[in-house]
Amino acid sequence: MLGDLIIEEKSKTLGVRVLPDGKIEQSSQGSGKMWGVEFNSVETFVNTFRPDGTLWFEGQLIATTKDGDAVMVKGSGIGWPTGPGWSSAGRGALYFQTQSQKFAKANKTVGVFEYESDAQGNANVKIWEWK
């Protein structure tokens, strides 16, 4: 069952490169709110194209707050093209890890997310707690 919306983020693709095995690595920078606290993030995801035109992706991000708290997020999901360039949408699951006392509940949280991105590399992400 979906719980509360715990993260909303806007991000921008900084770079894309083709790896030797044909996968695509994508790095982004973002900002948003995590459990009501503003954060900045850096993230990297590796995309694998599947025969049906969808993408399987895995990656991680680090979210940091102005108070110095940091939360590591790892996840994976499935995406699909929605238009030209990197325009896409997707869904998946995320797992959190932190040493921050303020965000200690993150260590027991599984998130489910949805994202949409446009041809200019702008993305919007929403993450809900999976209860």
Residue type, 106: A
Looking at residue 104, the DSSP 8-state letter turns out to be G
Looking at residue 100, the DSSP 8-state letter turns out to be -
The pTM is what?
Answer: 0.93
Q: What is the pLDDT of residues 67-126, one digit of tens each?
A: 999 999 999 999 999 998 878 999 999 999 999 999 999 999 999 999 999 999 999 999
Q: How far apart (Å, rounded) are the C-alpha atoms in residues 98 and 58? A: 19
Return the structure tokens found at 68: 């110095």
Return the structure tokens found at 115: 């994202």
Q: What CATH number does the domain located at 2-130 have? A: 2.40.160.20
Q: What is the pLDDT of residues 9-54, one digit of tens each?
A: 999 999 999 999 999 999 999 999 999 999 999 999 999 999 999 9
Provide the residue ranges of all domains of the chain, joining segments of one domain with +. Answer: 2-130
